[in-house]
Amino acid sequence: MYIFALKNAKQLSRQICKKTKLRLGLFKAKRFSDGEIYLQIKNEVKGQKVFILGSTCQDKNILEFLILINALKENGAKKITAIFPYFSYSRQDKKDRLGAPITAKLMANLFKQAGVNQFITVDIHSQRDKDYLKPKLINLDPLPIFANYIKKNISLKNTIIVAPDNGARNRAFKLAKLLDPLPVLVMQKIRPQQNMAKILKFKKNIIGKNVIITDDMIDTAGTICAACHELKEHKVKDIYIFTTHGILSGPAIERIKKAPIKQVVLTDTYPIPKEKRIKKIKILPIAPLLIKEL
Ligand code: R5P
């Protein structure tokens, strides 16, 4: 069986091939003079089950992913499984205001239409996203990886788990359960405008506690930094962040540098360039979780 990987997932696909029976599929992709993508697979896939792995982190990758699926389908692949370590547009999962689209649903439909029979995702943003990718979705849970890391590296004494908003509530309780269980605090967030996060004030005595904030992703780091500042007002001790996807766009790295955070722990579901791999950030590999499923 073959696994085809976009350029941005080559390293991950090699790790997978080393530990499974999958072989790396070959294809060439180039651009015509007018910018259109031309793609050609180099393996015989007729009647075969194939996997495709890639980050859809930029729109041009989405198109290449779709064209690759189509090439596999048109050349007779029997079952196509798309692996999205991070499912982009997942936060645009509802009509949040009049005139808005539902881009997550559109994305799911595009991939199904192109020929995907099954999806594998990691810590997908919402139940709505899961519904769009049904009926064949396997959504992998990275929390046991985080729990293991926490047990080995962070004292559980006097420690609480914090969800920075309601969306992270279930994740926080799940992580807490894997850790003895630990107590959970759920904060409330509002977004006065897009890409701006405001954490609401709360009353609870958490003086001197160590805090583990958990969320599905850090994008501009507005959410986690606002949460940290509010927690510091409550005189907490050390703050750790555990989030699956490190998008780290715009001001994220500068914000993380300045924020009262001891460590940010992410996985490599999203490509993180060298210059963003600062000392405070620890990246755990997602390959072991994917390998179990392949
Ligand atoms: C929101 O629903 C997500 O779960 C994250 O809290 C959010 O997307 C993080 O974005 P940012 O880092 O820009 O605040």
pLDDT beyond 90 at 162: yes
Tell me what the mean pLDDT of segment 185-193 comes to: 94
pLDDT in tens, 234-247: 999 999 999 999 99
Alpha-carbon span 18 to 6, nearest angstrom:
17
What pLDDT sits at residue 33? 97
Full 3-state SS string of 118-176: EEEEECCCCHHHHHHHCCCEEEECCHHHHHHHHHHHCCCCCEEEEECCHHHHHHHHHHH
Task: Kindly name the residue from 189, 232, 257, 280 that is annotated as catalytic.
Answer: 189
Nearest Cα residue to 148 out of 246, 245, 268, 284: 284
Which ligand 1 atom lies nearest to the CA of residue 220?
Answer: 13
Show the CA angle centred on residue 246, arms to residues 145 and 85, nearest 5°. Answer: 65
Whose C-alpha lies nearest to ligand 1, atom 2?
Answer: 167
Name the closest-CA residue to atom 10, ligand 1: 219
**Token pair for residue 48?**
């075969």
Q: How many helices (H) and strands (E) does the chain have?
A: 9, 16
C-beta separation of 136 from 187 below 8 A:
no
Mind listing the pLDDT tens digit for each residue in 208-265? 999 999 999 999 999 999 999 999 999 999 999 999 999 999 999 999 999 999 999 9
Work out which ligand 1 atom sits closest to the CA atom of 197: 14
Residue in 198, 223, 229, 230 to alter for ligand 1 test, most ligand atoms within 8 A of Cβ: 223
CA gap 161, 164 in Å, rounded: 10
Pocket of ligand 1 contains residue 150 by CB under 6 Å: no
**At residue 194, does pLDDT exceed 90?**
no
| % of residues, the chain, pLDDT over 90 | 97
* Cβ neighbours of 190 (radius 10 Å): 10
If you take atom 6 of ligand 1, which residue's CA is the nearest one? 223
- For residue 149, is pLDDT > 90? yes
| Residue 192 per-residue DSSP state | S
46, 75 contact by CB (below 8 A): yes
Residue 276 Cβ inside 6 Å of ligand 1? The answer reads no
**If 0-12 CB within 10 Å is exposed, 13-18 middle and 19+ buried, where does residue 100 land?**
exposed
For the Cβ of 55 lying below 6 angstroms from any atom of ligand 1, the answer is: no
Q: What is the mean predicted confidence (pLDDT) over 146-175?
A: 97
Mean pLDDT for 177-187 is 97
* Coil/strand/helix, residue 204: coil
Q: Please tell me the distance from the alpha carbon of residue 4 to that of residue 12, in angstroms, as a whole number.
A: 11
How many whole angstroms from 131 Cα to the centroid of ligand 1? 20
49 an active-site residue? no
Mutational pocket test of ligand 1: of 88, 188, 213, 217, the residue with most ligand atoms within 8 Å of the beta carbon: 217
CB contact at 8 A, 223 and 164:
yes
Mean pLDDT of all residues belonging to the chain: 96
